[in-house]
Amino acid sequence: MSELKKAIDQISKDRGIDRDLLIDTLEEAVRSAVARKYGETMDIEVSFNEELGEIEVFEFKIVVEDVHDPISEISLEAATAHDPNAQLDDEMGFPLKVEDLGRIAAQSAKQVIIQRMRDAEQEIIYEEYKDRVSEIASGIIQRRDRTGWIINLGRTEALLPKDEQIPRERYKRGDRVQAYIIDVLKESRGPQVVVSRSHPDYMIELFKREVPEVADGTVKIMGVSRDPGLRAKVAVMSRERDVDPVGACVGIRGSRIQNVVQELKGERIDIVVWSPDIAMYAQHALSPALISRITVDEEEETLEVVCPDDQLSLAIGRKGQNVKLAAKLLGWKIDIFTNSRYGELNAERKGMDQVAAVAEISMENFFAAGYESIDSIIQASDEELLSIKDMTESKVGDIRVAINMLAPDLFEADKDDSEEPQEAPVDETETADEVVEETAETVEEETEESDTPADGEESK
Protein backbone atom coordinates (compact mmCIF):
# COMPACT_ATOMS: atom_id res chain seq x y z
CA MET A 1 0.00 0.00 0.00
CA SER A 2 1.37 3.43 -0.99
CA GLU A 3 2.08 6.15 1.56
CA LEU A 4 -0.65 8.35 0.11
CA LYS A 5 -3.27 5.62 0.41
CA LYS A 6 -2.22 4.93 4.01
CA ALA A 7 -2.49 8.63 4.83
CA ILE A 8 -6.00 8.84 3.32
CA ASP A 9 -7.19 5.82 5.29
CA GLN A 10 -5.65 7.11 8.54
CA ILE A 11 -7.11 10.62 8.24
CA SER A 12 -10.51 9.19 7.36
CA LYS A 13 -10.41 7.03 10.49
CA ASP A 14 -9.03 9.65 12.90
CA ARG A 15 -11.13 12.61 11.78
CA GLY A 16 -14.26 10.71 10.86
CA ILE A 17 -14.22 12.18 7.35
CA ASP A 18 -15.65 10.16 4.47
CA ARG A 19 -12.85 8.54 2.41
CA ASP A 20 -14.42 9.47 -0.95
CA LEU A 21 -14.64 13.07 0.21
CA LEU A 22 -10.92 13.05 1.02
CA ILE A 23 -10.06 11.67 -2.41
CA ASP A 24 -12.26 14.31 -4.11
CA THR A 25 -10.45 16.95 -2.06
CA LEU A 26 -7.04 15.66 -3.17
CA GLU A 27 -8.08 15.63 -6.82
CA GLU A 28 -9.45 19.16 -6.55
CA ALA A 29 -6.23 20.35 -4.88
CA VAL A 30 -4.05 18.90 -7.64
CA ARG A 31 -6.33 20.36 -10.31
CA SER A 32 -5.99 23.75 -8.64
CA ALA A 33 -2.21 23.41 -8.49
CA VAL A 34 -1.97 22.57 -12.22
CA ALA A 35 -4.17 25.54 -13.11
CA ARG A 36 -1.98 27.78 -10.94
CA LYS A 37 1.20 26.74 -12.84
CA TYR A 38 -0.01 26.26 -16.42
CA GLY A 39 -3.16 28.38 -16.52
CA GLU A 40 -6.87 27.65 -16.77
CA THR A 41 -6.71 26.85 -20.50
CA MET A 42 -4.95 23.51 -20.02
CA ASP A 43 -7.36 20.62 -20.47
CA ILE A 44 -6.51 18.12 -17.72
CA GLU A 45 -8.04 15.13 -15.99
CA VAL A 46 -7.15 14.23 -12.39
CA SER A 47 -8.03 10.89 -10.81
CA PHE A 48 -6.93 8.67 -7.92
CA ASN A 49 -5.66 5.24 -8.96
CA GLU A 50 -6.82 2.83 -6.25
CA GLU A 51 -4.49 0.04 -7.43
CA LEU A 52 -1.35 2.16 -7.43
CA GLY A 53 -2.49 4.39 -4.59
CA GLU A 54 -1.42 7.50 -6.52
CA ILE A 55 -2.90 10.62 -8.04
CA GLU A 56 -2.74 10.50 -11.86
CA VAL A 57 -2.85 13.64 -14.02
CA PHE A 58 -3.36 13.66 -17.81
CA GLU A 59 -3.23 16.68 -20.09
CA PHE A 60 -5.17 16.56 -23.36
CA LYS A 61 -4.17 18.20 -26.64
CA ILE A 62 -5.75 18.39 -30.11
CA VAL A 63 -3.70 17.17 -33.10
CA VAL A 64 -3.32 20.04 -35.66
CA GLU A 65 -1.12 20.88 -38.64
CA ASP A 66 0.02 24.27 -37.33
CA VAL A 67 0.34 24.76 -33.58
CA HIS A 68 -0.92 28.16 -32.34
CA ASP A 69 -1.39 27.21 -28.65
CA PRO A 70 1.24 24.78 -27.33
CA ILE A 71 -0.77 24.19 -24.15
CA SER A 72 -3.86 22.82 -25.91
CA GLU A 73 -2.49 21.78 -29.32
CA ILE A 74 0.15 19.35 -30.69
CA SER A 75 1.51 18.97 -34.19
CA LEU A 76 0.79 15.88 -36.27
CA GLU A 77 4.46 15.08 -36.39
CA ALA A 78 4.87 15.17 -32.62
CA ALA A 79 1.66 13.20 -32.18
CA THR A 80 2.75 10.37 -34.49
CA ALA A 81 5.98 10.14 -32.50
CA HIS A 82 3.85 9.15 -29.50
CA ASP A 83 1.25 7.19 -31.44
CA PRO A 84 1.78 6.16 -35.08
CA ASN A 85 -1.98 5.96 -35.59
CA ALA A 86 -2.55 9.60 -34.60
CA GLN A 87 -4.57 11.69 -37.06
CA LEU A 88 -5.61 15.31 -37.36
CA ASP A 89 -8.29 16.50 -34.88
CA ASP A 90 -7.60 13.56 -32.58
CA GLU A 91 -7.50 14.30 -28.86
CA MET A 92 -4.45 12.81 -27.19
CA GLY A 93 -3.72 12.44 -23.49
CA PHE A 94 -0.27 12.75 -21.98
CA PRO A 95 0.65 11.90 -18.39
CA LEU A 96 1.78 14.84 -16.23
CA LYS A 97 3.99 14.23 -13.25
CA VAL A 98 2.69 15.76 -10.04
CA GLU A 99 6.28 16.23 -8.88
CA ASP A 100 6.84 18.70 -11.73
CA LEU A 101 4.24 21.14 -10.44
CA GLY A 102 6.74 23.14 -8.37
CA ARG A 103 6.88 24.46 -4.81
CA ILE A 104 4.25 27.22 -5.14
CA ALA A 105 1.73 24.90 -6.77
CA ALA A 106 2.39 22.21 -4.17
CA GLN A 107 1.86 24.77 -1.37
CA SER A 108 -1.39 25.85 -2.99
CA ALA A 109 -2.54 22.23 -3.15
CA LYS A 110 -1.67 21.76 0.50
CA GLN A 111 -3.76 24.81 1.52
CA VAL A 112 -6.73 23.55 -0.47
CA ILE A 113 -6.50 20.14 1.18
CA ILE A 114 -6.28 21.63 4.68
CA GLN A 115 -9.21 23.99 4.09
CA ARG A 116 -11.41 21.29 2.57
CA MET A 117 -10.64 18.92 5.42
CA ARG A 118 -11.50 21.62 7.95
CA ASP A 119 -14.78 22.39 6.18
CA ALA A 120 -15.66 18.70 6.01
CA GLU A 121 -14.88 18.23 9.70
CA GLN A 122 -16.99 21.25 10.68
CA GLU A 123 -19.88 19.98 8.60
CA ILE A 124 -19.67 16.61 10.37
CA ILE A 125 -19.65 18.32 13.78
CA TYR A 126 -22.61 20.52 12.80
CA GLU A 127 -24.67 17.52 11.66
CA GLU A 128 -23.77 15.63 14.85
CA TYR A 129 -24.78 18.38 17.27
CA LYS A 130 -27.77 19.48 15.20
CA ASP A 131 -29.27 16.08 15.94
CA ARG A 132 -28.43 16.48 19.64
CA VAL A 133 -30.55 19.59 20.22
CA SER A 134 -32.72 19.04 23.34
CA GLU A 135 -30.07 16.77 24.88
CA ILE A 136 -27.72 17.34 27.83
CA ALA A 137 -24.06 17.92 26.95
CA SER A 138 -21.13 17.82 29.36
CA GLY A 139 -17.90 19.77 29.05
CA ILE A 140 -15.17 21.75 30.78
CA ILE A 141 -15.20 25.51 31.34
CA GLN A 142 -12.48 26.88 29.07
CA ARG A 143 -12.68 30.66 29.17
CA ARG A 144 -14.97 33.64 29.64
CA ASP A 145 -16.34 35.35 26.55
CA ARG A 146 -18.00 38.77 26.38
CA THR A 147 -21.31 36.99 25.76
CA GLY A 148 -20.88 34.22 28.34
CA TRP A 149 -18.75 31.16 29.10
CA ILE A 150 -17.05 28.97 26.50
CA ILE A 151 -17.31 25.23 27.26
CA ASN A 152 -15.04 22.65 25.64
CA LEU A 153 -17.19 19.71 24.54
CA GLY A 154 -14.30 17.76 23.03
CA ARG A 155 -14.70 18.03 19.27
CA THR A 156 -16.10 21.54 19.43
CA GLU A 157 -16.95 24.38 21.80
CA ALA A 158 -20.27 25.51 23.24
CA LEU A 159 -21.44 28.92 24.41
CA LEU A 160 -23.30 29.33 27.71
CA PRO A 161 -24.79 32.85 27.34
CA LYS A 162 -25.24 35.07 30.39
CA ASP A 163 -29.05 35.01 30.16
CA GLU A 164 -29.02 31.19 30.04
CA GLN A 165 -26.99 30.82 33.25
CA ILE A 166 -28.40 30.20 36.71
CA PRO A 167 -28.18 33.53 38.61
CA ARG A 168 -25.49 33.69 41.29
CA GLU A 169 -23.85 30.52 39.92
CA ARG A 170 -20.10 30.99 39.66
CA TYR A 171 -17.63 29.17 37.42
CA LYS A 172 -13.88 29.02 37.03
CA ARG A 173 -11.63 27.60 34.38
CA GLY A 174 -11.40 23.81 34.51
CA ASP A 175 -14.82 23.27 36.15
CA ARG A 176 -16.84 20.44 34.65
CA VAL A 177 -20.38 21.53 33.83
CA GLN A 178 -23.35 20.13 31.98
CA ALA A 179 -26.07 22.05 30.16
CA TYR A 180 -28.99 21.68 27.78
CA ILE A 181 -28.36 22.16 24.04
CA ILE A 182 -30.90 24.70 22.76
CA ASP A 183 -29.45 25.57 19.34
CA VAL A 184 -26.64 24.87 16.86
CA LEU A 185 -25.62 27.71 14.56
CA LYS A 186 -23.46 27.68 11.43
CA GLU A 187 -20.66 30.21 11.84
CA SER A 188 -17.70 31.04 9.59
CA ARG A 189 -15.27 29.74 12.19
CA GLY A 190 -17.25 26.55 12.72
CA PRO A 191 -20.52 25.36 14.25
CA GLN A 192 -21.62 27.28 17.36
CA VAL A 193 -23.39 25.14 19.96
CA VAL A 194 -25.58 27.19 22.34
CA VAL A 195 -26.43 25.65 25.72
CA SER A 196 -28.56 26.62 28.72
CA ARG A 197 -28.82 25.80 32.42
CA SER A 198 -31.93 27.90 33.09
CA HIS A 199 -34.21 26.46 30.38
CA PRO A 200 -37.34 24.66 31.73
CA ASP A 201 -36.69 21.70 29.43
CA TYR A 202 -33.30 21.19 31.10
CA MET A 203 -35.17 20.19 34.26
CA ILE A 204 -37.32 17.76 32.25
CA GLU A 205 -34.20 16.07 30.86
CA LEU A 206 -32.72 15.82 34.36
CA PHE A 207 -35.87 14.08 35.60
CA LYS A 208 -35.75 11.70 32.63
CA ARG A 209 -32.23 10.77 33.66
CA GLU A 210 -33.05 10.31 37.35
CA VAL A 211 -36.59 8.86 37.18
CA PRO A 212 -37.10 5.69 35.11
CA GLU A 213 -40.87 6.22 35.07
CA VAL A 214 -40.39 9.59 33.37
CA ALA A 215 -37.86 8.15 30.91
CA ASP A 216 -40.21 5.33 29.79
CA GLY A 217 -43.29 7.58 29.65
CA THR A 218 -45.20 6.03 32.57
CA VAL A 219 -45.04 9.41 34.32
CA LYS A 220 -45.38 12.42 32.03
CA ILE A 221 -44.18 15.92 32.88
CA MET A 222 -46.96 18.26 31.74
CA GLY A 223 -45.29 21.55 32.51
CA VAL A 224 -42.38 23.29 34.23
CA SER A 225 -42.04 26.84 35.52
CA ARG A 226 -38.73 27.98 36.97
CA ASP A 227 -37.21 30.84 38.85
CA PRO A 228 -33.68 29.52 38.07
CA GLY A 229 -31.56 28.80 41.10
CA LEU A 230 -34.37 29.56 43.58
CA ARG A 231 -37.58 27.64 43.04
CA ALA A 232 -39.50 25.63 40.45
CA LYS A 233 -42.84 23.89 39.99
CA VAL A 234 -43.20 20.70 37.98
CA ALA A 235 -46.64 19.35 36.98
CA VAL A 236 -46.81 15.58 36.53
CA MET A 237 -49.40 12.94 35.68
CA SER A 238 -49.35 9.14 35.62
CA ARG A 239 -50.49 7.02 32.70
CA GLU A 240 -50.99 4.06 35.04
CA ARG A 241 -53.39 4.11 37.97
CA ASP A 242 -51.05 2.18 40.24
CA VAL A 243 -48.13 4.62 39.82
CA ASP A 244 -47.98 7.69 42.05
CA PRO A 245 -46.40 10.41 39.86
CA VAL A 246 -45.27 12.57 42.78
CA GLY A 247 -43.76 9.65 44.69
CA ALA A 248 -41.97 8.40 41.57
CA CYS A 249 -40.33 11.79 41.00
CA VAL A 250 -39.42 12.33 44.64
CA GLY A 251 -38.01 8.83 45.22
CA ILE A 252 -37.36 7.04 48.48
CA ARG A 253 -36.52 9.67 51.10
CA GLY A 254 -36.23 12.21 48.29
CA SER A 255 -33.25 10.46 46.71
CA ARG A 256 -34.27 11.10 43.10
CA ILE A 257 -35.29 14.71 43.41
CA GLN A 258 -32.25 15.55 45.51
CA ASN A 259 -29.98 14.61 42.61
CA VAL A 260 -31.83 17.13 40.43
CA VAL A 261 -31.72 19.77 43.18
CA GLN A 262 -27.97 19.34 43.61
CA GLU A 263 -27.34 19.67 39.89
CA LEU A 264 -29.32 22.93 39.90
CA LYS A 265 -27.37 24.29 42.88
CA GLY A 266 -30.14 23.96 45.46
CA GLU A 267 -33.12 25.07 43.39
CA ARG A 268 -36.22 24.10 45.40
CA ILE A 269 -38.68 22.00 43.43
CA ASP A 270 -42.41 21.52 44.07
CA ILE A 271 -43.94 18.47 42.38
CA VAL A 272 -47.66 19.03 41.75
CA VAL A 273 -50.30 16.78 40.21
CA TRP A 274 -51.60 17.91 36.83
CA SER A 275 -55.36 17.91 36.24
CA PRO A 276 -57.48 18.59 33.14
CA ASP A 277 -59.77 20.62 35.44
CA ILE A 278 -58.14 24.04 35.50
CA ALA A 279 -59.57 24.87 38.94
CA MET A 280 -58.18 21.67 40.47
CA TYR A 281 -54.88 22.18 38.64
CA ALA A 282 -54.65 25.73 40.05
CA GLN A 283 -55.34 24.45 43.56
CA HIS A 284 -52.42 22.03 43.23
CA ALA A 285 -50.16 24.64 41.64
CA LEU A 286 -50.73 27.11 44.48
CA SER A 287 -49.73 24.60 47.16
CA PRO A 288 -48.84 24.71 49.99
CA ALA A 289 -51.59 27.33 50.43
CA LEU A 290 -55.14 26.12 51.17
CA ILE A 291 -57.71 27.51 48.73
CA SER A 292 -61.34 28.26 49.66
CA ARG A 293 -62.77 28.70 46.18
CA ILE A 294 -61.74 29.37 42.57
CA THR A 295 -63.79 31.18 39.93
CA VAL A 296 -62.82 30.44 36.32
CA ASP A 297 -63.16 32.90 33.44
CA GLU A 298 -62.33 30.73 30.41
CA GLU A 299 -62.81 33.53 27.89
CA GLU A 300 -60.20 35.77 29.53
CA GLU A 301 -58.21 32.81 30.92
CA THR A 302 -58.31 34.39 34.36
CA LEU A 303 -58.69 32.69 37.75
CA GLU A 304 -60.19 34.44 40.77
CA VAL A 305 -58.76 32.62 43.77
CA VAL A 306 -60.08 33.03 47.33
CA CYS A 307 -58.09 31.79 50.29
CA PRO A 308 -58.36 32.09 54.11
CA ASP A 309 -56.84 35.27 55.51
CA ASP A 310 -54.01 33.36 57.20
CA GLN A 311 -53.09 31.57 53.92
CA LEU A 312 -52.49 34.71 51.86
CA SER A 313 -48.73 34.87 52.45
CA LEU A 314 -48.35 31.19 51.52
CA ALA A 315 -50.42 31.60 48.36
CA ILE A 316 -48.41 34.59 47.23
CA GLY A 317 -45.03 33.33 48.41
CA ARG A 318 -41.82 35.20 49.05
CA LYS A 319 -41.75 38.25 46.78
CA GLY A 320 -44.76 36.85 44.90
CA GLN A 321 -42.78 33.81 43.79
CA ASN A 322 -45.44 31.14 44.48
CA VAL A 323 -48.27 32.80 42.59
CA LYS A 324 -46.00 33.85 39.70
CA LEU A 325 -44.70 30.31 39.21
CA ALA A 326 -48.26 28.93 39.44
CA ALA A 327 -49.51 31.43 36.85
CA LYS A 328 -46.61 30.56 34.53
CA LEU A 329 -47.28 26.84 34.99
CA LEU A 330 -50.98 27.20 34.18
CA GLY A 331 -50.58 29.88 31.51
CA TRP A 332 -53.49 31.76 33.13
CA LYS A 333 -53.70 35.06 35.02
CA ILE A 334 -54.37 34.60 38.74
CA ASP A 335 -56.02 37.17 41.05
CA ILE A 336 -55.92 36.29 44.75
CA PHE A 337 -58.34 37.54 47.41
CA THR A 338 -58.73 36.74 51.09
CA ASN A 339 -62.11 35.53 52.38
CA SER A 340 -62.74 38.83 54.16
CA ARG A 341 -61.82 40.96 51.16
CA TYR A 342 -63.88 38.80 48.82
CA GLY A 343 -66.86 39.17 51.17
CA GLU A 344 -66.52 42.95 51.06
CA LEU A 345 -66.45 42.98 47.27
CA ASN A 346 -69.50 40.73 47.09
CA ALA A 347 -71.40 42.95 49.51
CA GLU A 348 -70.62 45.97 47.35
CA ARG A 349 -71.83 44.21 44.22
CA LYS A 350 -74.87 42.64 45.87
CA GLY A 351 -78.00 43.34 43.87
CA MET A 352 -76.08 44.55 40.80
CA ASP A 353 -77.28 41.56 38.81
CA GLN A 354 -80.90 42.46 39.60
CA VAL A 355 -80.39 46.10 38.62
CA ALA A 356 -78.76 44.99 35.37
CA ALA A 357 -81.69 42.64 34.68
CA VAL A 358 -84.22 45.46 35.21
CA ALA A 359 -82.34 47.73 32.81
CA GLU A 360 -81.75 44.83 30.39
CA ILE A 361 -78.09 45.84 30.22
CA SER A 362 -75.10 43.57 30.70
CA MET A 363 -73.29 43.85 34.06
CA GLU A 364 -70.04 44.18 32.09
CA ASN A 365 -71.38 47.50 30.72
CA PHE A 366 -71.85 48.79 34.28
CA PHE A 367 -68.40 47.61 35.32
CA ALA A 368 -66.78 49.10 32.20
CA ALA A 369 -68.28 52.49 33.09
CA GLY A 370 -66.93 52.22 36.66
CA TYR A 371 -70.17 51.23 38.46
CA GLU A 372 -69.46 48.13 40.54
CA SER A 373 -71.99 48.55 43.37
CA ILE A 374 -75.51 49.84 43.96
CA ASP A 375 -74.05 52.62 46.11
CA SER A 376 -71.98 53.92 43.17
CA ILE A 377 -75.14 54.01 41.00
CA ILE A 378 -77.12 55.90 43.68
CA GLN A 379 -74.37 58.51 43.94
CA ALA A 380 -74.32 59.05 40.15
CA SER A 381 -76.54 61.61 38.42
CA ASP A 382 -78.91 60.67 35.61
CA GLU A 383 -76.61 62.34 33.08
CA GLU A 384 -73.67 60.26 34.35
CA LEU A 385 -75.66 57.02 34.14
CA LEU A 386 -76.48 57.78 30.51
CA SER A 387 -72.77 57.29 29.75
CA ILE A 388 -73.26 53.55 30.33
CA LYS A 389 -73.44 51.63 27.07
CA ASP A 390 -77.06 50.86 25.92
CA MET A 391 -78.48 53.12 28.68
CA THR A 392 -81.57 55.28 27.98
CA GLU A 393 -83.54 57.83 30.06
CA SER A 394 -86.42 55.40 30.56
CA LYS A 395 -83.98 52.72 31.78
CA VAL A 396 -82.48 55.22 34.25
CA GLY A 397 -85.98 55.69 35.72
CA ASP A 398 -86.46 51.91 35.94
CA ILE A 399 -83.11 51.59 37.74
CA ARG A 400 -84.09 54.26 40.30
CA VAL A 401 -87.35 52.42 41.06
CA ALA A 402 -85.55 49.07 41.31
CA ILE A 403 -82.92 50.47 43.69
CA ASN A 404 -85.62 52.02 45.90
CA MET A 405 -87.18 48.57 46.21
CA LEU A 406 -83.88 46.69 46.69
CA ALA A 407 -82.22 49.07 49.12
CA PRO A 408 -84.71 51.67 50.40
CA ASP A 409 -82.61 52.47 53.47
CA LEU A 410 -79.55 53.12 51.37
CA PHE A 411 -81.57 55.21 48.93
CA GLU A 412 -83.09 57.34 51.73
CA ALA A 413 -79.72 57.79 53.41
CA ASP A 414 -78.34 59.05 50.12
CA LYS A 415 -81.14 61.58 49.91
CA ASP A 416 -80.34 62.87 53.41
CA ASP A 417 -76.65 63.20 52.57
CA SER A 418 -77.13 64.49 49.03
CA GLU A 419 -76.05 68.01 50.01
CA GLU A 420 -72.79 66.77 51.54
CA PRO A 421 -69.77 66.48 49.26
CA GLN A 422 -69.31 62.97 48.00
CA GLU A 423 -66.01 61.23 47.39
CA ALA A 424 -65.43 59.67 44.01
CA PRO A 425 -65.99 55.91 43.96
CA VAL A 426 -62.80 53.89 44.31
CA ASP A 427 -61.98 50.73 42.42
CA GLU A 428 -61.20 48.37 45.26
CA THR A 429 -60.49 45.26 43.22
CA GLU A 430 -57.16 43.80 44.26
CA THR A 431 -55.07 41.77 41.89
CA ALA A 432 -52.29 39.42 42.85
CA ASP A 433 -49.65 42.06 42.03
CA GLU A 434 -51.29 44.63 44.37
CA VAL A 435 -51.54 42.08 47.15
CA VAL A 436 -47.86 41.29 46.66
CA GLU A 437 -46.95 44.96 47.26
CA GLU A 438 -49.17 45.25 50.34
CA THR A 439 -47.82 42.10 51.97
CA ALA A 440 -44.14 42.27 50.93
CA GLU A 441 -42.88 43.04 54.43
CA THR A 442 -45.09 40.38 56.00
CA VAL A 443 -43.96 37.76 53.53
CA GLU A 444 -40.28 38.58 54.08
CA GLU A 445 -40.73 37.84 57.81
CA GLU A 446 -42.26 34.40 57.15
CA THR A 447 -40.13 31.47 58.23
CA GLU A 448 -38.97 28.85 55.73
CA GLU A 449 -41.30 26.31 57.34
CA SER A 450 -44.42 28.40 56.75
CA ASP A 451 -43.39 29.57 53.30
CA THR A 452 -43.14 26.34 51.30
CA PRO A 453 -43.23 22.60 51.86
CA ALA A 454 -40.17 20.40 51.71
CA ASP A 455 -38.65 20.00 48.25
CA GLY A 456 -40.75 17.80 46.03
CA GLU A 457 -43.62 17.35 48.52
CA GLU A 458 -47.14 18.22 47.54
CA SER A 459 -49.40 20.11 49.93
CA LYS A 460 -52.09 17.85 51.24
Q: What is the mean pLDDT of residues 70-77?
A: 83
CATH number at residue 148: 2.40.50.140
Strand partners, 141: 151
Q: Are residues 250 and 220 in the same domain?
A: yes
Domain edge (last residue) among 251, 274, 297: 274
Q: Are residues 327 and 247 in the same domain?
A: no
The pTM for the full model equals 0.61
Q: Where does residue 32 rank: exposed (0-12), middle (13-18), buried (19+ CB within 10 A)?
A: middle
List the one residue out of 84, 90, 98 whose CA is nearest residue 49. Answer: 98
Is-cis flag, bond preceding 95, omega within 30?
Answer: no
393-424 pLDDT, tens digit per residue, is 888 888 888 777 765 554 454 444 444 444 43
Domain edge (last residue) among 274, 302, 317: 274
Q: Are residues 246 and 265 in the same domain?
A: yes
Q: Are residues 374 and 426 in the same domain?
A: yes
43 or 160: which leads in pLDDT: 160
pLDDT interval class at 42 (50, 70, 90): confident
Q: Are residues 74 and 221 in the same domain?
A: no
- The Cα 325–Cα 203 span in angstroms is 15
Share of the chain above pLDDT 90, in %: 33
Q: What is the mean pLDDT of residues 306-314?
A: 90
> How many structural domains is the chain composed of?
4
Q: What is the pLDDT of residue 104?
A: 59
Q: Are residues 398 and 296 in the same domain?
A: yes
pLDDT interval class at 40 (50, 70, 90): confident
Q: Are residues 339 and 457 in the same domain?
A: yes
Q: What is the mean pLDDT of residues 369-377?
A: 78
Q: Are residues 150 and 247 in the same domain?
A: no
Q: What is the mean pLDDT of residues 370-377?
A: 77
CATH number at residue 15: 3.30.1480.10
Q: Are residues 428 and 454 in the same domain?
A: yes
Q: What is the pLDDT of residue 427?
A: 39
Q: Are residues 191 and 221 in the same domain?
A: no
Q: Are residues 173 and 218 in the same domain?
A: no
Q: Are residues 24 and 112 in the same domain?
A: yes
CATH number at residue 259: 3.30.300.20
Q: Which domain holds residue 155?
A: 133-198
91 or 165: which leads in pLDDT: 165
207-245 pLDDT, tens digit per residue, is 999 999 999 999 999 999 999 989 999 999 999 989 999
Q: What is the pLDDT of residue 432?
A: 43
